[in-house]
Amino acid sequence: MKKQYQDEITNAIKACQKIDGINHIYFAACGGSMAFMQPAEYIINRECDIPATILPSREFTTRDPHDLGEHSVVVTCSHSGSTPETNEAAKFAKEKGALTIGIAFTPDSDLEKNSDYTLHYSWGKGTDASDLNTGVLYGFIFGLLKAVTGDAKYDKGLKALDDLEAIAERTRQQFGDTTKKWTSELKREKLIYAIGSGINLGETYSFSACWLQEMQWINSSCIDSAEYFHGPFEITDFDVPFIICEGMGVTRKMDQRAADFAKKHSDKVYVIDNADFDMHEIDDDFKEYYSQILSGVVFRQLAEGFSYERGHSLEARRYMWHLDY
């Protein structure tokens, strides 16, 4: 990871440590920027006693959480740093006295002005995975957990960032042909369901709402594996397509149960099996947390595959960038 990013993380963590007892960490953002932070909420809730909540930016500001104040940390994210709802959330949190940390790609953005600390990241082809948004987020989260709990095991979580690019590239190679085949078979579909859970829920949501609905205009819904059998599974039929993210950790059984049922009753079930990811460089305690980054690598390949097969650019928009709304 670039020294600039490491320094920004260190400064933000130091500011968190100055709070005399963090009462709540809120994550607020929109769309893909919210989805990418979902694992942070999940990891914090699993690893330490600080309550963590993730909300769409305007759900956060309209909700106006009662416990939001000087003991709170509010982490926001916007790629451009200009998303109005997320800037509102950062401003609102600052007014309430919370420590605000903005995550943004663009330097000197509004979000940077509205945040006490900013964590920048890099973007685009050729970027080392540790410098991408998730690399920086994980650097911050595992660093914060180490600072808060005093447990040296999080060094292993941080060390994994050094190998992340090699692991991501290996996954890209591994799934290249598979994702091409899948998108060729699915290219005529007007509706595709995405199923996932636990650490993968953010990436699954992102695939459904951003890659499929926004960038391919394919109807979709993100279904939590834990919820599939409690309503949604009744729409399963031989011709209903599902892309299922099967985790390699604690949610694996639950994801498998959904995948097994869907495969039995639909001819169009495609499973991204996280157990197929080769993450041998990463310590066992952290493999699950990192697996969702690789799910994201495969989801992106699927999006690129759909774009190619359907001649529908990932940059095509009907409304965004063209209209005021």
- Contact residues toward its own copies (CB under 8 A) are 23-24, 30-32, 34, 42, 45-51, 53, 55-59, 62-67, 85, 191, 197-198, 208-210, 213-215, 217-222, 224-227, 229-237, 250-251, 254, 257, 261, 265, 317-320, 325
C-alpha–C-alpha distance, residues 164 and 158, integer Å: 10
Q: How far is the CB of 320 from its own copies (least distance, A)?
A: 7
Count of Cβ atoms closer than 10 Å to residue 262 Cβ: 23
Q: Nearer to its own copies by C-beta: 177 or 239? A: 239
Q: Can you list the alpha helix ranges (DSSP code H) found in the chain?
A: 3-18, 31-35, 38-47, 57-63, 84-95, 110-113, 133-149, 154-186, 201-206, 215-216, 225-228, 252-265, 284-310
Q: How far is the CB of 46 from its own copies (least distance, A)?
A: 6
Count of Cβ atoms closer than 10 Å to residue 2 Cβ: 15
Q: How far is the CB of 261 from its own copies (least distance, A)?
A: 5
Q: Nearer to its own copies by C-beta: 129 or 201? A: 201
Q: Nearer to its own copies by C-beta: 46 or 181? A: 46
Distances (CA, A) of 171 to 177, 277, 286: 11, 7, 17
**Token representation of residue 27:** 């994550």
Q: Which residue has the tokens 């009744």?
A: 234
Q: How far is the CB of 142 from its own copies (least distance, A)?
A: 15
Contact by Cβ (8 Å): 262, 244: yes
C-alpha–C-alpha distance, residues 80 and 110, integer Å: 9
CA angle 21, 27, 33 (to 5 degrees): 155
Q: Nearer to its own copies by C-beta: 280 or 325? A: 325
Q: Running DSSP on this structure, what letter comes out for residue 211?
A: I
**Token representation of residue 53:** 């909540």
Q: Nearer to its own copies by C-beta: 171 or 274? A: 274
Q: How far is the CB of 128 from its own copies (least distance, A)?
A: 27
Q: How far is the CB of 109 from its own copies (least distance, A)?
A: 17
- H or E stretch at 74: strand 72-77
Backbone angles phi, psi at 285, to 5 degrees: -60, -20
Which of 276, 271, 249, 268 has its CA nearest to residue 258?
A: 271
Q: Nearer to its own copies by C-beta: 24 or 156? A: 24
Q: How far is the CB of 19 from its own copies (least distance, A)?
A: 15
Q: How far is the CB of 150 from its own copies (least distance, A)?
A: 14
Q: Nearer to its own copies by C-beta: 231 or 311? A: 231
Q: Nearer to its own copies by C-beta: 171 or 200? A: 200
Q: Running DSSP on this structure, what letter comes out for residue 200?
A: G
Q: Is 323 helix (H, G, I), strand (E, B) or coil?
A: coil
Q: Nearer to its own copies by C-beta: 168 or 209? A: 209
Q: How far is the CB of 49 from its own copies (least distance, A)?
A: 4
